[in-house]
A and B are shown apart, each in its own frame.
Chain A
């Protein structure tokens, strides 16, 4: 009796379960399940959001450290790139100077050139000398003319094995024999304490005008001829003077000298023995 009642119970439960499943599959239990599950979903959402907050708090210190490291790395990269940009700009500037020097050498093929970099200036402010990074090891000799892509800069005054001292034409003791174009007049270009260039010994009858070109004449044997030096900016002519004088704007910017060319196949001529000494027979 008891076993038949249990069997009926089981059958009824089975039928109820099948009925519930059938209702659920048919979608008839959706409002009920929504009603039942809503509190559970809310509770679970609340719990998971709190858990996420706790996780964020725990992991934020690690993220901060990672971000800081990333920031340092990026700053370093920016710094590297900036220094690379500076290097490239420097290279571009050097390339421009070198290409100008190559162009100068191409225009004057009669000379042989050697490039040198300016590495220093004379410690004394009274003289206008620069120090270059080439010396006798590179074949330099005293007296060699020094030019830039614009024109004449000076000449080698002293040489050591790895460096040389160049006397600029702006030095107070410098004098260069020049000719003026288009008049063809001869004159002497003198340096000064302030670095300005003046022309002296211009014959009174020479027609000299502002804008005339000043070139080396080659007289005296210290420089080759026809190297551009500058342009006349003003002329001083007084009837009582023996000679005219003029100011010259050099084509070379002596404050920004970086790379120069040395004319290695020019040999200066020492005319000192040919100058008659007073009292000599």
Chain B
């Protein structure tokens, strides 16, 4: 059930990102809603389907984007792995884990994109990339991290209700 839900939820987020949020840039940086969803989902305590969500998110965004799809698949899986690691290490402070995973996840995706574009022949200046895209994108993602965590926390509670001990 939770794995099946990934497709509609991530598709809706991708449509929102492509049609709405990509039109509201900060300098040249934009919000990555799929990344936020994957991080928020992976950090939920009872969630078992984080890897499946990561693969599906990577394939969906990779299909729509002109960036080689392997960037998103690998980048999102690395982000999910980081979020799962943080969930185990600092499980008492999930919000802190959310912010850390969002920060490093955005960094990973953007660095992977830079490398992939360089390999495919498009050399982008690193300082301009950091100033115009990476830092503004991190800021935008961090701004939306809290609402996403709350939303996906509710979703996880709905899908994985607490078992009551009798």
Q: Is A123 in contact with B22, judged by CB distance below 8 angstroms? A: yes
Contact string, A108-135, partner B, CB cutoff 8 A, digits 1/0?
Answer: 0000000000011111111101010000
B30 interface residue (CB < 8 Å to A)? yes
CB distance from A143 to the nearest CB of B (A): 15
Q: Is B129 in contact with A126, judged by CB distance below 8 angstroms? A: yes
Task: Report A-chain residues with C-beta under 8 Å of the C-beta of B28.
Answer: 125, 193-195
Stretch at the interface among A65-73, A165-173, A240-248: A165-173
In which size bucket is the chain B interface?
Answer: 20 to 34
A188 interface residue (CB < 8 Å to B)? no
Task: Report B-chain residues with C-beta under 8 Å of the C-beta of A259.
Answer: none
How far apart sit A134 and B125, CA to CA, in the bound complex (Å)? 34
Whether A126 contacts B18 in the complex (CB less than 8 A), given A193-B28, A193-B132, A194-B132, comes out as no
Task: Report A-chain residues with C-beta under 8 Å of the C-beta of B133.
Answer: 125-126, 193
A-B CB pair tally, cutoff 8 Å: 75
Whether A126 contacts B19 in the complex (CB less than 8 A), given A172-B122, A193-B124, A193-B128, comes out as no
Task: Report B-chain residues with C-beta under 8 Å of the C-beta of A193.
Answer: 28, 124-125, 128-129, 132-133
Whether A124 contacts B67 in the complex (CB less than 8 A), given A173-B121, A193-B128, comes out as yes
Q: Is A123 in contact with B110, judged by CB distance below 8 angstroms? A: no
B117 interface residue (CB < 8 Å to A)? yes
Q: Is A173 in contact with B18, judged by CB distance below 8 angstroms? A: no
Q: Is B129 in contact with A122, judged by CB distance below 8 angstroms? A: no
How far apart sit A212 and B39, CA to CA, in the bound complex (Å)? 50
How far apart sit A33 and B160, CA to CA, in the bound complex (Å)? 93
Q: Which of A171-191 contact B (CB under 8 A)?
A: 172-173
Q: Is B67 in contact with A127, judged by CB distance below 8 angstroms? A: yes
A157 interface residue (CB < 8 Å to B)? yes
Q: Is B15 in contact with A126, judged by CB distance below 8 angstroms? A: no
Stretch at the interface among B42-50, B58-66, B150-158: B58-66
From A120, A122, A126, name the one whose CB has the most chain B CB atoms within 10 angstroms.
A126
Tell me the nearest residue of chain A to B128, going by C-beta: A193
Contacts A122-B65, A193-B132 known; list 6 others, CB within 8 Å.
A122-B18, A123-B17, A123-B22, A123-B32, A131-B64, A193-B129
- Chain B interface residues (CB < 8 Å from chain A): 14-15, 17-19, 22-23, 25, 28-30, 32, 34, 61, 64-67, 110, 113-114, 117, 120-122, 124-125, 128-129, 132-133, 137
List, sorted by A's number, 7 A–B pairs whose CB atoms are closer than 8 Å.
Answer: A119-B19, A123-B14, A123-B32, A123-B34, A124-B65, A125-B29, A172-B122
